[in-house]
Structures are given as C-alpha cells and as structure tokens.
Amino acid sequence: MDILKLDGISKHFLGLKAVENVSFSIKQGEIFSVIGPNGAGKTTLFNIISGHYSPTKGRKYFEGKDITNLRDFEVAERGITRTFQNIRLFSNLTVLENVLIGLHIKLKSSILDCLLRNSKNKKEEDECYDEALELLDTIGLKDKAFEQAKNLSYGEQRKLEIIRALASKPKLLLLDEPTAGMNNFEAKEIVQYIKELNSTGLTILLIEHNMRVVMGVSNNIVVLNYGEKIAHGTASEIQNNELVIEAYLGRSKKND
Amino acid sequence: MIVQQLVNGLTIGSIYAMVALGYTLAYGILGLINFAHGDVYMVGAFVAYFCITVLDLNVIVSFIISLVISGILGALIEFTAFRSIRTGSRSSQLISAIGVSIILQNAVMLTMGSDTKPFPKVMNTSVYEFTNITISSTQILIMIVALIFMIMLYFLIYKTRVGISMRSTAQDAAMSSLMGINVNKVISITFSIGAVFGAAAGILVGIYYNSIVFNMGSSMGLKAFVAAVLGGIGNIPGTMLGGIVLGLAESLGATLISAKYKDAFSFIILIFVLLFKPTGLFGKKEIEKV
Amino acid sequence: MDRIKNIKQMSNKIFSRLNNNMIFALSLFVIIIFPIIFDNSYILHILILLGVYVVLGTSLNVVAGVMGELDLGHAAFFGIGAYISSLFVMNVFDNFWIGMILAGFISLIFGLLLGIPSLRIRGDYLAIVTLGFNEIIRYVLLNMQSVTNGPMGIKGIPSPTIFGYVLNTKQQMFYLIWVLVIIIVVVMNRMTNSRFGRTLVAIREDQIAATSLGINTGKYEIWAFAITAAFAGIAGSFFAHYMNFINPNNFTTNESILILCMITVGGRGSMIGSFIGVTILFLLPELLRPIADYRMLIYGIMLVVMMVFKPRGFWPEKRIPSRITKSAESKEAS
C-alpha cells in the first residue's frame, strides 16, 4: 500500500524551476531515497512534502488523503515528521526538553490546563517525562538528558534530532542527509539505526549525498537532476542507469 | 489647502528622512535599533544653540562644531554601549541604547536646564506666496539641505572606498574582516555619519520651529524610526522615501481626517504597511532557508 | 533504576521541590509580617507599586522572555485595564472585582488582536508594531475626551471593596496586590514548565523546527500575547483603584520600555530573574532619591553598564525541569 504519493509536483521560485513535475509513490514500510547532485531540488522537494512550501503545481497524498493544502504543522499532525540538513535542535534547551517538545502532538493539555496545572495536566506531564526519558534511553542519551543540546557531539545531535522527530510516533519519517558531516564510523552507526527503525515498520524517506549509505539501505531510489526525476528504481537499477551515471555518479566518482 | 499640506509634509518628511537614515545605517551594519539616535539629534541642536548663544560663535562655525561633536558622539556611543554586546541579544542592545538615551537627555537637562529654549534666529525668514500656497525660506532651506545631505550620502555609500567597506561589512562582517577591512573602524564611521545626519536635522528643526528642549529627541526618534521601518529599515533609498511618505501622510491626514489624531496616523499607517508587506514598503523579502 | 537515581540526585541539587516550597512559605511569611512591622506609608506605597510592576514584569516575561519577541506595548494593556476598570466601576456597576475581571478580559481581547500581526511579522518589525500599538492607545486615551477625559485623566476612582468593606489603607492594599503577585507568579511558573511553556520556548529557539514537530506556532503566539495582556490589564485595574487617579501619561511607550528593561536586566525568560530585575530597577530610582537631580543620569549609566557586563541579566534563564524529581520519585516508590 502506498503511504505517500506525489502526483506531478512542481515548485517554481520566480521562474526558477526548482522542482518540475515529479511523481512517485512510497510504499508502507520501505526505505525510499531521493538522490541527486547539489542543487537538484532534493531539499525543495522535501520541504514540499513536509508542507513547509506549497507546490506550484501537483498534488500530494498521504495514506490516500489529499494533503496538498495542509500547512506544515498539520502535515506533522497527520504523521509526517522530519529532520533538517543543518541540524535544527533547540540548542539552548536541555536534551530532555527537545524530546518533550517532540511529544507535543501526543499531549492533550490545553493552555488553560497548563496554567492551572490541574490533575489531568499533572498526570500527563509525569507520563511524558517518563516517556521522553525512555526514548532517550533507546539512543543512549539518557545520561545526558539535562545537558544543553548544543553541548552534544555532532553525531549525538543528529541522533537527538531523529529521536525528537520520532517522539510523536510518525508514520513517515523524512531524513534530510542524516550522515552529512559525519565520519565513516558515525555514518555507519546512523545507517544501522535507520535500519533498526525501519525494522519496526516505520516508513523512511531519505535524502542523501553519501552513495554508500543510499545503496546499502534503500528499497527504492529516485534520482533528481535540475528539479526533474531522471530515474526511479532499485539500487542496482540506479547504479546501471546511463542517465544517472552521467548526471551524478560519474561526477561524484571524480570527486572521490 | 492640500497643496499647502504637501509643502508642509515635504518639509517635515525631509527631517524625518534625515533622522531615519541614522537608524537605517546602524541597523544595516549591525542589525541593531539604536534608540539613542533621537537624542543625538537633540544634542546636535543643543550644541549649535550653545555655540551661538553662549560662546557667541559665528552661525556656520557653530553648525560645523555641532556636526563634528555629534559625529564623535555617535562613534563614542557605538564604542561604549554597543561594541561589546554586538553579538548579544537584541534586547540587551536595545536596553543599552535606552540607557544611552537616558544619559544624554539627563546630561543636557542638567547642564542646560529643562525649560524650552528659543533657538537663535540665524536667518531672516521670508515667506513666498503663490496663488494659494505659502512657502517660507526655512522650508526651502530644509528641503535643500536634506537633498544635499542625501546626495552626499549616496555618493559616499556607492562611490567611495569607505562606502564599499560599509556595504561589505553590512553584508558579512566576518568575511569583510578577512578581506582586510577594519570592521570596527567602518562601524564607527557608520555611526558617526548617522549621528551627523541626526544633528543636522536637529539644527534644521531648531531653525524651523525656533525652539528646542531636552526631550525633543524622544518623539522625533520614534517618528523617524517609524519612517525607517516604513521604507524598509537597512535600505537607504527606501528609508529616504519612507521619511517623505510619513511626512506627507501625516500632514494630509491631519487636514483631511482629524488633526487630533495626527500623531497616531504614522503608527496606524505603519501597522497596515507591515501587515501587508512585513519588511516595509521598499524592503527586500526575506526567505528563510531550511 | 540507577540512572533515574542519578538524575534525581542531580535535579535535587539544582532545583529541589522542598526548596521551592520553602521559598514559597518564606515569601508568604514575609508578605504577611512586613506591613505589620513596617507600617510606614511611604515604604508601603513603594512596595505596593513594586507589586504592580512585578505583575507587569512577570506577565511581559511570557512574550518577551519565554517566547523571545520584543514587546514594546505592554503599558498599553496596563492602561486599557486601568481605564476599563475605572470607567466600568464609576459608570456601570460599582464592583471592583467585576471591574478587575472585565479589565483582564478586555485586555485579553486586545492582546489577541495584537497577537495577529505576529503571524506575519517577526523580530524587530513586530517590536515596532507593538510600540505603534502602544502609541495609538495613548493617543486614543488622550483624544477621546468624552470618555477618557483626555489629558486630565480620571479622578476619584473608588477604592476596592470586599463584601462592602472598603480597602483603603496602605496595609490592606499591600496584602491585596501581593496576593495577586503570588497567584500570578505561581500561574506563570506552572506555565513555563508545561506543554504550553515548552511550545513558546520552542518558538523562540527555532520556529521552523517547532512547526515541523506539529506545533501550530501562530495559535500559541497569539495566546501568549493574550495572556501577557490579560495580566497587565489586571495590574492596571489594581493600579487605578489604588491610586484613585489615572491619566494617559501613566501608560506611555516609555513605560513599556521600562518594563522590558526591568526583565532584561533581571534575566529574560527566567521567573526569578524578572522578579529581581523589577525589584532592582524599580527601587533604584527610589534609593537614588537623595542625589535627586542626578538619579536618572546614574540610572542610565547603570543600564548601559549592566547590559555591557551582564548582557543576559543577573539571573539568566536556566531550563532545569523541576518536576522530574517527583516523577522519578513516584517511579521509585512503585
């Protein structure tokens, strides 16, 4: 079953075609990757899916429902959360609070409940602290729950950002270059973590630059170049695709 | 009637524009609202007043002394109150600026007194009458001086080395510093220029209204700041236009709608403009990158 | 279990509940005992006004501290509350308490209105909108003579009553305002460590990240403005009925800026910081009174010096959730 379906999505900025007529579907439970050279429109596409931008043309469907006109927080409420290419943690807050904010959607206390701190709010707060600590435990950051997020190592920050996005139990997780700026060891750790998440049934959409990461984990891959989809298939299909090699792999090999 | 109001609006608008440039320069280069700027304008007027009445100096000499002293004051304010918290939060900068504003007002009040001073008559005001409008020589003076100052600023910013340094520092201070620009010096100069503009406006207002008082900077500062935001703070031509627009809107609003609410118009206009164009009439649209 | 213990010890050290309760009890004691010992009308007067400013400061802290938007229009709500309450009590129905609630409510509505621009406008521009709002309210108060009596202000505002008993001594007013202070400080304190408070902090830290987590930032921003405004309105109502006289000069933009100065000097975002800042900056001019003419000069110099050497204030925000202690405790017990 398709969890997310893009139908002819385009995004133009003052005549610049950042994304042009891109369509694809993501199946429930798979790891789906979007790759492409710098400036291919990957992050723009991501921002469209997460609702940060609205597309110039085209429609997007989540679990069969049209979500084209939903705003970003509504998209998150439906069950799509994301991480950012340049980590966007609440860096002055504690690690724990970052996760607590991630739990926002799941909590039900109204503003008035919060001001009065009634029994309902009290109970919920106690529960969400425990839940946040448990979540932190799963990535080994429980000991650092009271550190400021900015004091974590780069790898830990990446993990924290992922766990923050996971806190609300999304159905689709968008990861924007999760291994960017990492050494091989850290990258491997993250890839392992992504696989683990996927094994629990979570659908993951991945944007990556690091070819090794993508080829290793993805069920399906879409390649963008100049905002257009130039290929779609499994890792081996993509690796043998002439267009892709020309647009991307050839160049990236040279760079290596 | 309306044409007459246009003339009055243009006059006061030129003053707003000159003071507003001080805000825009400071904002453009440091991203900081220099709330003490209105008081620099006041100091400019008072220094000129002091030179003419107490020291009995020549009028032109007095004006020049006033501009020089204000220029130094501008750099001094930047050095003491803003330099060390340049990267700090906006609110701490704001409060530092307010502190400076309180200091300047009280220093002037303590030395010169809290009463309104008559600004010396420096020129014979003649009034020219056309079919149905009157225009005074002071109004013409104000508009000409404002025009000259703005043209000078334009050449300074766009045609000189200092101007290039200022613009590059405004774009990216760290990078400019790596390119060999003495960023601190450029920022000092920018504040000085802003202060000179404020002081010149202060003198012109003294001549125009014939009276100055120690707290005259508060309301002018606020208005000029509104003008800067209206035009797009940080944007020099936008700010100039913002000042003129504000002056015109105020005098037209006062005649056509209600004189009582003259001062409220500027703020109502401001809020509406910002609602529809959040970065001012001539400001650039900011796109936040994700 | 060990980890939970560690966390517990850690947070115990930093911010223990017991300690919190003790502070609460101690301040209650001081508030009860103080006017009995120092029955001096000047001192009590100063401390009553201090109470008003503590309410103003801690409420402004919601928008300007916790949410991090520069709000230069706080005095407008203070004024709206003062005028609404006085006009209502003097012309419609002579009951201070209803007047106060109405003042809070109308201010809340205006707060919602002022919050709307925050959906589109951010940062410095929003600060100017709030400042403009304050100026507009001031001009309305000055010029709507038939209602507000213009620059002359409103005289003879009745003192508060409880069950027909008029509160008009300084001692009684002292208790009234400081009870209000306690209520508001407790509510605000609860708010900052709740779902709502965290949302506001998230907006301050990174709005885009906050939205990506499903937070409807606009809604919370508007409500933050509304709550801030409501408490200022209540403070205004008290102020009017305490002073028995108000005029538009009590509610200028300068006043708003002064309140912002207070909480910034104390430490924005921090409840205790706001309290300390308000106390210092409010009492400073009084303490400097002996040097009369020079006091504002020195006040200005101190503002600059404080900001240059302590830009984050005397008591910067520390975000250590206190309630973790209890949650860990209950876990241990079970």
Q: Chain A within 8 Å of C254 (Cβ-Cβ)?
A: no
Q: Chain A within 8 Å of B174 (Cβ-Cβ)?
A: no
Cβ–Cβ contacts within 10 Å for residue C9, how many? 12
Of the candidates C19, C309, C48, which has an alpha carbon nearest to the alpha carbon of residue C160? C48
- Tokens 């210092």 label which residue? C280
Sign of CA dihedral B200, B201, B203, B204: positive
Main-chain phi, psi angles of A223, to 5 degrees: -110, 125
The encoded tokens of residue A99 equal 């996760």
The encoded tokens of residue A6 equal 């893009």
| pLDDT value for C14 | 52
Q: Which residue of A has its CA nearest to C189?
A: A115
Contact B150, B20 (CB under 8 A): no
Cα A134–chain centre separation: 21
Contact B130, C334 (CB under 8 A): no
Is the pLDDT reported for residue B171 higher than 90?
no
For an interface test with C, give the residue of A49, A115, A130 to mutate (most C CBs within 10 A): A115
Interface of A with C in 8-47 (CB under 8 A): none
Of the candidates A139, A153, A158, A256, which has an alpha carbon nearest to the alpha carbon of residue A209? A256
Contact B166, B29 (CB under 8 A): yes
Interface of B with C in 80-99 (CB under 8 A): 80-81, 84-85, 88-96, 98-99
Q: Which residue of C has its CA nearest to A131?
A: C327
- Name every residue whose Cβ is closer than 8 Å to that of residue A6 and which is 6 or more positions away in sequence: A22, A23, A24, A25, A49, A58, A59, A60
| C123·B90 Cβ contact <8 A | yes
Let me know how many helices (H) and strands (E) chain A has, helices first. 11, 10
DSSP state of A92: T
User: What is the C-alpha to C-alpha distance for residues C42 and A183, in angstroms, rounded to an integer?
Assistant: 68
User: What is the C-alpha to C-alpha distance for residues C277 and A37, in angstroms, rounded to an integer?
Assistant: 53
- Residue-wise pLDDT tens digits, C132-150: 899 999 999 999 888 898 8
Task: Kindly state the percentage of chain B with pLDDT values over 70.
Answer: 98
In the CATH hierarchy, which top-level class contains the domain C41-327? mainly alpha
Q: Chain B within 8 Å of C213 (Cβ-Cβ)?
A: no
- Residue-wise pLDDT tens digits, C169-215: 889 999 999 999 998 888 888 888 889 999 999 999 999 999 999 99
Is the pLDDT reported for residue C38 higher than 50?
yes
Alpha-helical segments (H) within C116-243: 123-143, 145-148, 170-192, 195-205, 207-212, 217-243
| pLDDT value for A39 | 80
A35-49, A166-180, B179-193: which has the minimum mean pLDDT?
A35-49
DSSP per-residue letters across B147-205:
HHHHHHHHHHHHHSHHHHHHHHHHH-HHHHHHTT--HHHHHHHHHHHHHHHHHHHHHHH
Contact C286, C292 (CB under 8 A): no
Query: How many Å lie between the alpha carbon of A119 and the closest alpha carbon of chain C?
Result: 13
Q: Chain C within 8 Å of B290 (Cβ-Cβ)?
A: yes
Task: Kindly state the percentage of chain C with pLDDT values over 90.
Answer: 46
Out of A84, A93, A116, closest to residue C319 by CB? A93
Reduced to 3 states (helix: H, G, I; strand: E, B; else coil), residue B51 is: helix
For the CA atoms of chain C, what is the radius of gyration? Answer: 21
| C209·A89 Cβ contact <8 A | yes
DSSP per-residue letters across C24-50:
HHHHHHHHHHHHHH---HHHHHHHHHH
Is the pLDDT reported for residue C326 higher than 50?
no
Reduced to 3 states (helix: H, G, I; strand: E, B; else coil), residue A110 is: coil
Cα C77–chain centre separation: 11
| pLDDT value for B253 | 86
Contact C251, C235 (CB under 8 A): no
User: What is the C-alpha to C-alpha distance for residues C262 and C277, in angstroms, rounded to an integer?
Assistant: 5
| CA triple C208-C213-C218, angle to 5 deg | 60
| pLDDT value for C233 | 97
| pLDDT value for C325 | 43
Is the pLDDT reported for residue A210 higher than 90?
no
Q: Which residues of B265-288 are buried (b: 16+ CB within 10 A; e: fewer)?
A: bbbbbbbebbeebbbbbbbeeeee
Q: Chain C within 8 Å of A136 (Cβ-Cβ)?
A: no
- Tokens 């801030």 label which residue? C228
How many domains is chain B built from?
Answer: 1
With a threshold of 0.90, does the pTM exceed it? no
Q: Chain A within 8 Å of B290 (Cβ-Cβ)?
A: yes
Interstrand relation of B117-118 and B211-212 (parallel, antiparallel or unpaired): antiparallel
Of the candidates C120, C114, C89, C77, which has an alpha carbon nearest to the alpha carbon of residue C250? C77
Of the candidates B48, B11, B12, B32, which has an alpha carbon nearest to the alpha carbon of residue B194? B32
| CA triple C201-C193-C24, angle to 5 deg | 130
- Of the pLDDT bands very low, low, confident and very high (cuts 50, 70, 90), residue B278 is confident
Q: Which residues of B touch A47 (CB under 8 A)?
A: 290
Q: Chain A within 8 Å of C13 (Cβ-Cβ)?
A: no
Q: Which residue of C has its CA nearest to A75?
A: C214
Q: Chain C within 8 Å of A123 (Cβ-Cβ)?
A: no
| C190·A96 Cβ contact <8 A | no
For an interface test with A, give the residue of B89, B286, B290 to mutate (most A CBs within 10 A): B290
Domain extents for chain A?
A: 2-79+170-255, 89-153
B248 in any annotated domain: no
Task: Kindly state the percentage of chain C with pLDDT values over 70.
Answer: 89
- Of the pLDDT bands very low, low, confident and very high (cuts 50, 70, 90), residue C333 is very low
Contact C251, B88 (CB under 8 A): no
Average of pLDDT values for A128-138?
91
| C132·B271 Cβ contact <8 A | yes
Out of C3, C208, C212, closest to residue A143 by CB? C3
Q: Which residues of A touch B290 (CB under 8 A)?
A: 43, 47, 52, 84-85
Task: Indicate the angle between helix axes A119-138 and A154-166, nearest 10 degrees.
Answer: 130
| pLDDT value for B150 | 92
Is the pLDDT reported for residue A153 higher than 70?
yes
Chain A contact partners (≥3 CB pairs within 8 A): B, C
| pLDDT value for C329 | 42
- Residue-wise pLDDT tens digits, C52-97: 999 999 999 999 989 988 899 999 999 999 999 999 999 998 899 9
| pLDDT value for A6 | 92
- Of the pLDDT bands very low, low, confident and very high (cuts 50, 70, 90), residue B76 is very high
The encoded tokens of residue A106 equal 């799941």
| C321·A129 Cβ contact <8 A | yes
Query: How many Å lie between the alpha carbon of C243 and the closest alpha carbon of chain A?
Result: 30
Q: Which residue of B has its CA nearest to C114?
A: B271
Is the pLDDT reported for residue C267 higher than 90?
no
Tell me the sheet residues that pair with B135: B128
| pLDDT value for A255 | 44
Main-chain phi, psi angles of B52, to 5 degrees: -75, -50
CA atoms within 13 A on the CB side of B127: 6
Query: How many Å lie between the alpha carbon of C205 and the closest alpha carbon of chain A?
Result: 5
| pLDDT value for B31 | 85
Contact B271, C133 (CB under 8 A): yes
| pLDDT value for A256 | 41
Reduced to 3 states (helix: H, G, I; strand: E, B; else coil), residue C316 is: coil
Query: How many Å lie between the alpha carbon of C325 and the closest alpha carbon of chain A?
Result: 10
Cα C29–chain centre separation: 22
DSSP state of A249: I
| A76·C209 Cβ contact <8 A | no
| A90·C205 Cβ contact <8 A | yes
DSSP per-residue letters across C100-130:
HHHHHHHHHHHHHHHHGGGGT--HHHHHHHH
Of the candidates A202, A120, A209, A137, which has an alpha carbon nearest to the alpha carbon of residue A169? A202
Interstrand relation of A57-62 and A2-13 (parallel, antiparallel or unpaired): antiparallel
Q: What is the mean pLDDT of chain C?
A: 85
Quick one: A2-79+170-255 is in which CATH superfamily?
P-loop containing nucleotide triphosphate hydrolases (3.40.50.300)
Contact C300, C288 (CB under 8 A): no
Q: Which domain holds residue B99?
A: 2-215
Q: Chain A within 8 Å of B54 (Cβ-Cβ)?
A: no
| pLDDT value for A187 | 86
Q: What is the mean pLDDT of chain B?
A: 89
For an interface test with B, give the residue of C280, C304, C309 to mutate (most B CBs within 10 A): C304
Contact C265, C280 (CB under 8 A): yes
Q: Which residues of A touch C227 (CB under 8 A)?
A: 111, 115
- Of the pLDDT bands very low, low, confident and very high (cuts 50, 70, 90), residue C331 is very low
- Of the pLDDT bands very low, low, confident and very high (cuts 50, 70, 90), residue A32 is very high
| pLDDT value for B186 | 93
Q: Which residue of A has its CA nearest to C11?
A: A146
Q: Chain C within 8 Å of A246 (Cβ-Cβ)?
A: no
| C124·B225 Cβ contact <8 A | no
Q: Which residue of B has its CA nearest to A84?
A: B290
The encoded tokens of residue A29 equal 């439970």
| pLDDT value for A48 | 93
User: What is the C-alpha to C-alpha distance for residues B183 and B177, in angstroms, rounded to an integer?
Assistant: 6
Interface of A with C in 86-115 (CB under 8 A): 88-94, 96-97, 100-102, 104-105, 107, 109, 111, 113-115
| pLDDT value for B18 | 95
| B274·C117 Cβ contact <8 A | yes
| B278·C120 Cβ contact <8 A | yes
Q: What is the mean pLDDT of chain A?
A: 88
CA atoms within 13 A on the CB side of A42: 25
- Residue-wise pLDDT tens digits, C275-299: 889 998 899 888 887 777 787 888 8
| pLDDT value for B101 | 93
Q: Chain B within 8 Å of C300 (Cβ-Cβ)?
A: yes
Query: How many Å lie between the alpha carbon of A87 and the closest alpha carbon of chain C?
Result: 9
B14 in any annotated domain: yes
Average of pLDDT values for B133-160?
91
Cβ–Cβ contacts within 10 Å for residue B239, how many? 34
- Residue-wise pLDDT tens digits, A94-132: 999 999 999 999 888 888 888 888 888 888 888 899 999
Element (H, E) at A224: strand A220-225
| A111·C196 Cβ contact <8 A | yes
